[in-house]
Amino acid sequence: MPRISAFQSRFFWKTYLTFAVLFFITTILVSSIGFYRIQSTIQGIILDNLHAKAEFLLPTARQIFAKQLPEAESQLRQLGTATKTGITLIAPEGQVLVDSASQASTMENHWQRPEVQQALVEPFGFAERHSLTMGQPLLYLAKAVRAADGQILGVVRVSLSTDKIHGELTQLRWTMLLIASLGVMLALGIGWNLASRVAIPIREMVQVAEAMRNGHYEQKVRTITDDELGQLGETLNRLGAELTGKIAELHRLETVRRDFVANVSHEIKTPLTSIKGYVETLLGGAINEPRTSLRFLEKIERNSNRLGNLVQDLLSLARIEATEDSLSLAPIDWCEVINSVIARNEDVITQKGLLITVSGTNMPQYVMGDREAMTQVLDNLLTNAIKYTAEGGHVSVGLSTSDTWLRLTVEDTGLGIPTEHLDRIFERFYRVDKARSRELGGTGLGLSIVKHLTAAMGGEVHVQSNVGIGSKFSVLLRFVAQV
């Protein structure tokens, strides 16, 4: 899968652009509110400063209005210059008596100024405007000067140039804009990184999911993060691995099914063809020849038995597979099963002149198993040992303990199995020597039945063999010490 870029992800662009727009709007709002809050604070400080200066000038202004300080104008000029504040005294008629920055006699009537009119009815008056006299924007604060009886003697007004204040505010505005811009750039960079870390795994998981939909379950999510997205990616990878395994198992089962059908068809067709041929020959006149008809009938019987054994083994295998997980396990004595199976095969053993020995059965030996299944397992192993051991050979059956297991062994001095066939002899219909196996009446299902029954009882089956020496089959079931 090619490396994924964030530019290819629509989710990335939706997330990133949404983040960018929200952060940009938030930055503008916060910066604007912050600036206006600072501006309001500065104006409040200036207003408090002007108010304090006006309060400070009230006693002096009273004396001037009462004509008690002839040198007041020069003093106010010096005070205004020292505090960088304009000071104006306005008589009730609007005449400017004193101004620290201009010649009072040349100044127009000030009684209708907004701050003056406001000061007459409120604790103080405030205004901001461009001064024609000073040629610059000024902040004005006016306060009425009253006599002891409350009579208005005049108005004292202080003013401050706002050029420097506006300059400072403009510089502050640009500084905040620069900081906000840097913050936006930094946030956009961080947002890009975060959006990429989220979008790339999602995009990769989408591609993997699409690949799985098209049957490519081997695709993996490579970007695994340490969060819920990482868990989702790992889950998707595990799902792909499980599906790959299940599909491989389905292919294997389909192959097994096809082989099974082909094998069953062949195994059934061969004896049926023989039976049909012998019957047609008998019907064609051979029935009138006693010796020939007897020989043909014996072959028909042998093939019929072969078909019967095949059907019986197929039914057994089907029943085993259907109930493999539902066997009722209980403590069963292997010794009783061994004695029963040997007694059942005693005639065949005697006919072939085989020597059979049994060991480890001098006392009850219990395992967790199913009596019928154990009987069928041993019967198949013993039948095979008898079948493939030449006359006068030796077959031994034994029990021995191994840790938590009780081991049943069936050993013979028969033909033996080549090493290359040992891994496959438990497969259905698998034969080492097909011609000899059919000649001896084998169905090719006995060892498969042994394997399935042993597994259903929670055990294991193993084989050791040498060509020309013999074979040894071992069945391990869970040992039960006491019953």
Rounded to an integer, the average pLDDT of 436-448 is 62
Burial of residue 173 (number of CB atoms within 10 Å: 0-12, 13-18, 19+): middle
> What pLDDT is recorded for position 374?
92
Residue indicated by tokens 């990335």 = 12
Selected residue with higher pLDDT from 200 and 173: 173
> What pLDDT is recorded for position 199?
66
- Alpha-carbon distance of 180 to 174, in angstroms, equals 10
Range among 159-163, 175-179, 256-260, 373-377 rated most confident: 373-377
Q: Which tokens in the block code for residue 237?
A: 């990878």
Going along the chain from its start, the domains and CATH numbers come out as 1-206 (3.30.450.20), 224-322 (1.10.287.130), 326-480 (3.30.565.10)
Contacts of 270 (CB under 8 A, 6+ apart): 438
- Report which of 93, 65, 72 is spatially closest to residue 153, judged by C-alpha positions: 65
Backbone φ, ψ for residue 39 (5° rounding): -60, -45
Q: Which tokens in the block code for residue 30?
A: 């916060």
pLDDT at 439 over 70: no
- Report which of 478, 338, 473 is spatially closest to residue 406, judged by C-alpha positions: 478
Strands (E), 210-343: 330-333
Do 255 and 232 touch, CB atoms closer than 8 A? no
Mean pLDDT of the chain: 80
Do 10 and 18 touch, CB atoms closer than 8 A? no
Q: Which tokens in the block code for residue 141?
A: 């604060």
- Alpha-carbon distance of 51 to 64, in angstroms, equals 19
Selected residue with higher pLDDT from 192 and 300: 300
> What pLDDT is recorded for position 24?
76
Distance of CA 169 to the CA centre of its chain: 54
Contacts of 394 (CB under 8 A, 6+ apart): 354, 355, 356, 357, 412, 413
Rounded to an integer, the average pLDDT of 241-246 is 78
Selected residue with higher pLDDT from 109 and 186: 109
Position 436 confidence tier, pLDDT thresholds 50, 70, 90: very low
Rounded to an integer, the average pLDDT of 231-256 is 76
State pLDDT tens for residues 319-351.
666 655 567 889 999 999 999 999 988 988 999
Position 209 confidence tier, pLDDT thresholds 50, 70, 90: confident
Q: C-alpha angle 8/10/14, rounded to 5°?
A: 135
State pLDDT tens for residues 66-108.
776 666 667 777 888 777 788 888 888 888 888 887 787 788 8
pLDDT at 476 over 90: yes
Selected residue with higher pLDDT from 29 and 115: 115
Q: What is the pTM of this model?
A: 0.47
- Alpha-carbon distance of 87 to 64, in angstroms, equals 13
In which element (H, E) is residue 388 found?
A: none
Distance of CA 375 to the CA centre of its chain: 49
